[in-house]
Amino acid sequence: MTARRPAAWLFLAAGFLAAAGTPALGWQAGAAVPRPGESQPNEQPAAAKGPNERPEEALPAAPIPELAIYEGRPVRAIILRQPVIAAKPKKPEPTTTDPELVQPAKKEDAPPQPPAAPTFKPLTGAVSQLAMNQIRTAEGGPYSQRVVSEDMTRLNRLGRFKGIENSVELLSDGSVNLIFTLTPQAVVADVQPAGNTVISDEDIRDRVEVLIGSPVDRFALDRGCRRIEEMYREKGYYLAKVSVDEQQLDETGTVVFVISEGQQLKVTRIAFDGAKDFAPGLLKNEIQTTEAWLLNRGKLDDQMLEDDVATLTRFYKDRGYLEVRVASRVTPSPDGKEAIVTFVVEEGGVYTLRSLKIDPGTGEASDGPGRFTEQQLMALTTIKPGDIYSDLELNKSIEAVEAAYGALGYTDVKVEKRELRVPDTTQVDLLLQIREGRAFRTGLVEIQGNDLTRGSVIRRHVQVKPERPLDASAIKDSKQRIEELNIFAPAKVKITPQPPREDEPDVRDVLVEVEETNTGSFEFGAAVSSDAGLFGRFGITQRNFDLYDTPDSWSEFWTGRAFRGSGQTFSILLSPGTRYQNYGVSLLEPSVFDSDYSASASLYLNTSDYDEYNEQRYGAKFAVGRRFGKRWNVTAPLRIEGVKLNDLEPEAPRDVFKVKDQKFITGLGLNATRQTLDDIYRPTEGSTVNLGIEQVGAAGGDFTFTAVRAEHKIFFPVAEDYLGRRTVVSLTTRANYLTGGEDSVPVYERIFLGGQSFRGFKFRSVSPKGIRNDNGERGGPVGGTWMVFFSPQLQFPIYERLLDGVVFVDSGTVTNKIGISDYRVSAGFGFRIYIRQLTPAPLAFDFGIPLKKGPGDEKRLFNFSVDVPF
């Protein structure tokens, strides 16, 4: 009996208090989700974490000895409630702004107010059901501190509540109500950046990954702030700071990322720490990051820095520095406006190739992997034993080997490299393992996406043919050819070999996918040059014209679905100018009846204003041509035109007065062209050959003579940086000859040089001089019947892909007899500006100085040509 008295006494006391209306006995068995480093009642303290790590899960609350008297009592009900947060009272605003009339209240005047009792309301909705699903304590079951502690742990694990408490209410019959007081975590109603001008709202929302409708996650908000700061760092805003507007979050549930962008750092200096074997100026030419100067802001960009690190690494590895390590360091100025960028380089030694072997895939060197012998493959490689171990040359060798296999249908061939560095040396043994795979033949070639364009227009440019080897190089070449048609969206042109056929495992069909794009254009622009002066240009061009696709309705005509789809080019050109005026209309059919033959026709009216007379030409040209393979093109042109000279000056040469009246000219010719340039507007390798002969007077007219011409240009790279920019040498050779002598050839058909065609000399001034009509003295140029010209030129990159420099030597002569008498020479330098958004051709500026002149030559220091469409 003695041992049972304390328990009985406690039981009677509790019953008495309950009957007397004493408030429920309660305790806090859990609280808000613990922060890193904090501890809560009845919970184990959480281990300290970094700002971007979640706190450890709360441990179950420890049993409280004072509550042991309720252990086992029946649970009448489980109540879920949430506290009601009272609105903060607003401060009374003074009725006057006069500071003398506004008397601050004294603290002793306001009696202390007792704290308001907390109020609660039931927890409802989906979150209530979610919480109830985590509670294992059952109504009608016994109360257990251990089970309640586990319930608290599960509720905390949900992450949906920022405050969790529990209490017990003792009822008169001895049972208890179990009360969980849960403070729900706010739900994200919206995500809004504020203060951003550099990065769009959409880009920020995509990066932060805070979902509308999800509970507020402090870890996710902090991570979002850091990610936004990273976005600004990538654009050079190293001092950008991002925070969350807590007041907006509490009051409206809107996550507002408050962004302080700061200023974009300007690079004032680029340094190289540890670069001993290469000059800083050479390394600066390889990277994209630049120092600020007059025409360059020198913006700092994290992504560009990463690219520069990769570029410098490739630069060194291409020169044999296999162990090179490169990193970047940014040092902002104290005012946060400028920065010094330092590239830290650990060069290491220069490696050479000691030996090269080829493995067919068995793991042993042999005579060759199947199709080729080792000697044949060695001949394809550009890297040889004894050479510096260059990644660039190695990759070129691998591409050459893969191309050789690809030409035989081995589209899945793989060449894997195995490097073995010789210990205690800077030498490398290289093994190329070739997995040739299986040879495939081309099956069907299917074309998709050509809603307007005829399939034959595409098919004639596809180099892979049915029943022939499936050549990977031909697939690449076909894709380039279709893109160069400029009648489909370039990014949408795809040529994909399909899986092997089930019934013919050595055959793979080919799918060609294109997407139609707008092929009509209206050109409105202007151009200026030292030779032609200023002139405007207005043109209408349809690159996918079809002369026979007449419209079925006005709607089809106005929507642009008529006269389209055959790959023809139709254009109208109006070009008025101060010295030259050109007007014309033309039609080109590149493939007559889907053959290798082409045809063209044009009408034109051209006027030229020279110093001593004006020339007017009008007429028509027709041509039939044929392609021979990929490189040769032969055309047979016919021209019929009238020529008249007007506004002759008295001092004009007598040769001009001889042909001042209107004359008619016909000419039938034959031209052959061979072109292997990699880019017609910016060639870096390849050549062009133009051979032509024209018989003037073949179809009648006032003159009879023969014109022969030949031109050869060759381009070859002598250096290449790791941005793909090449230094290129070009050699230009031209020769023209007109038979019959000067008496048979009118002045407007003769040959002139000068200006852009012979830099350093005035336009059309390199020529024999005539006799003035007014006084019989030597006059202006009248042209010659023989011309020879030779010009070597070096073009090199200066700034990114926008600006190149050139140095050149022009030499040649124009006479009336075959030979090199009166041979002229000039030299100079110039610039090429590439703005593809304006014009595919470069803007050219050249400075030339005559080194050797002919009789009566006039010099011109500066030549330029600017072509800008609007």
- Tens of pLDDT along 110-161? 566 666 667 888 888 878 888 899 899 888 889 988 899 899 999 888 877 8
Distance of alpha carbon 531 from alpha carbon 769, whole angstroms: 19
Tokens of 87: 């609105």
Tokens representing residue 296 in the block: 């360059």
Task: Give the CB-side neighbour count of residue 257, counting CA atoms within 13 A.
Answer: 30
Whether pLDDT at 12 is above 60: no
Q: Is 29 helix (H, G, I), strand (E, B) or coil?
A: coil
Cα separation, 329 vs 633, in Å, equals 55
- Pick the range with the lowest mean pLDDT from 132-141, 562-571, 836-845: 836-845
Q: Inform me whether the pLDDT recorded for 792 exceeds 80.
A: yes
Q: What are phi and psi of 464, to 5 degrees?
A: -85, 130
Model confidence band, residue 338 (pLDDT cutoffs 50, 70, 90): confident
Contacts of 325 (CB under 8 A, 6+ apart): 313, 345, 346, 348
**pLDDT attached to residue 62:** 53
**Dist CA 826 CA 851 (whole Å):** 5
Cα 835 → chain centroid: 15
Degrees, nearest 5: CA angle 772-774-777: 40
pLDDT at 429 > cutoff 80 = yes
The 10 Å Cβ neighbour count of residue 765 is 23
Task: Annotate 135-149 with b (16+ C-beta within 10 A) or e (fewer).
Answer: bebeeeeebbbebbb
In the chain, % of residues over pLDDT 70: 86
Question: 695 near 655, Cβ under 8 Å?
Answer: no
Record the tokens describing residue 360, joined without a space: 């067919």
Across the beta sheet with 75-83, the strand order is: 120-122, 75-83, 176-184, 161-170
Please, which pLDDT band fits residue 531 given cuts at 50, 70 and 90?
confident
Distance CA 600, CA 593 (A): 14
Under a CB-based contact definition with an 8 Å cutoff, are residues 739 and 705 in contact?
A: yes
Q: What 3-state DSSP class applies to 692?
A: strand
CA–CA separation, 585 and 540 (whole Å): 10
Which CATH architecture describes the domain 591-869?
Answer: Beta Barrel (2.40)
- pLDDT, residue 559, reads 74
- Which pLDDT value is given to residue 88? 52
Domain with CATH 3.10.20.310 in the chain: 2-85+118-184, 190-260, 266-346, 354-435, 441-513
Residues of the chain with CATH 2.40.160.50: 591-869
Q: What is the pLDDT of residue 298?
A: 73
**Of residues 312 and 484, which shows the higher confidence score?**
312
Q: Report which residue type is found at 329.
A: R
Reported as type and span, the H/E element at residue 852 is: strand 843-852
Which of 463, 456, 494, 459 shows the shortest CA–CA distance to 478? 463
The rounded radius of gyration (Å) of the Cα atoms in the chain is: 43
Q: CB neighbours (10 Å) of residue 502? A: 6
482 three-state secondary structure: helix
The mean pLDDT of 345-370, rounded to a whole number, is 73
Cβ of 194: how many Cβ atoms within 10 Å? 12
Phi first, then psi, for residue 616 (nearest 5°) are -125, 130
92 pLDDT band (50/70/90 cuts)? low
The span from the CA of 239 to the CA of 261, in Å, is 7
Q: How far apart are CA 135 and CA 129, in angstroms?
A: 10
pLDDT of residue 52: 38
Q: pLDDT: is 650 or 160 the higher one?
A: 650
Strand partners, 624: 599, 636
In whole angstroms, what is the distance from residue 425 CA to residue 422 CA? Answer: 6
Largest Cα separation within the chain, whole Å, is 154
**Length of the chain measured in residues:** 870
Structure tokens at 377: 């493959």
Q: How far apart are CA 361 and CA 368, in angstroms?
A: 10
Q: How far apart are CA 139 and CA 150, in angstroms?
A: 16
Q: Can you give the pLDDT at residue 216?
A: 77
Contact 14, 20 (CB under 8 A): no
pLDDT tens digits, one per residue of 504-523: 999 999 999 999 988 888 88
How far, in Å, CA of 176 to CA of 140, rounded? 10
pLDDT band with cut points at 50, 70 and 90 for residue 361: low
Burial class (CB in 10 A: 0-12, 13-18, 19+), 83: middle
The answer to whether residue 748 scores a pLDDT higher than 80 is yes
Residues 48, 63 contacting (CB under 8 angstroms): no
State which CATH number among 3.40.630.30, 3.10.20.310, 3.40.50.300, 3.40.190.10 fits the domain covering 190-260: 3.10.20.310
Confidence label for 869 from pLDDT (cuts 50, 70 and 90): very low
The per-residue pLDDT for 55 is 40
State the pLDDT at residue 641.
Answer: 97
Q: What is the dihedral of CA 737, 741, 746, 750, to 10 degrees?
A: 30
Residue 14 has pLDDT above 50, yes or no: no
Question: pLDDT confidence of 172, banded at 50, 70, 90?
Answer: confident
Query: Given this model, what pLDDT does residue 866 score?
Result: 63
Tokens of 816: 């009336």
- Which pLDDT score, from 0 to 100, does residue 203 have? 86
Q: Cβ of 342: how many Cβ atoms within 10 Å?
A: 17
Strand, coil or helix: 714: strand
How confident is the model over 294-310, as a mean pLDDT? 80
266-346: which CATH number, 3.30.1110.20, 3.10.20.310, 3.40.50.720, 3.30.830.10?
A: 3.10.20.310
> For the chain, what percent of residues have pLDDT higher than 90?
44
The beta strands (E) that lie in 514-613 are given as 520-529, 533-545, 568-575, 580-589, 597-609
How many whole angstroms separate alpha carbon 862 and alpha carbon 533? 13
pLDDT per residue over 278-290, tens digit each?
888 889 888 888 8
Q: What is the mean pLDDT of residues 340-366?
A: 81
What does the mean pLDDT of the chain come to?
A: 83
CA atoms of 214 and 188, how far apart (whole Å): 6
pLDDT tens digit sequence for 198-257: 888 888 888 887 777 777 777 888 888 988 988 888 777 877 889 988 888 877 778 899
Residue 748 token pair:
């407007």
Average pLDDT over residues 23-33: 37
CATH number among 3.40.50.300, 3.30.70.1450, 3.10.20.310, 2.70.98.20, domain 441-513: 3.10.20.310
Q: Quick one: pLDDT at residue 31? A: 35
Closest CA to 54 of 33, 68, 39: 33
Across 96-134, b (16+ Cβ under 10 Å) vs e yields eeeeeeeeeeeeeeeeeeeeeeeeeeebeeebbeebeeb
Specify the pLDDT at position 437.
85
CA 147 to chain centre: 60
**Highest CATH level, class, for 2-85+118-184:** alpha beta
- Read off the pLDDT of each residue in 470-489 and give the average, rounded to a whole number: 90
Confidence of residue 852 (pLDDT cuts 50, 70, 90): very high
pLDDT at 839: 74
pLDDT over 90 (residue 32): no
CA distances from 651 to 607, 774, 784 (A): 21, 5, 19
- Report the alpha-carbon distance of residue 40 to residue 34 in Å, rounded: 7
- Report DSSP state, residue 866: E
- Which CATH topology does 354-435 take? Ubiquitin-like (UB roll) (3.10.20)
CA dihedral 144, 149, 151, 153 (to 10 degrees): -170
Mean pLDDT on 49-58: 40
Q: C-alpha dihedral over 346, 349, 350, 355, to 10 degrees?
A: -130
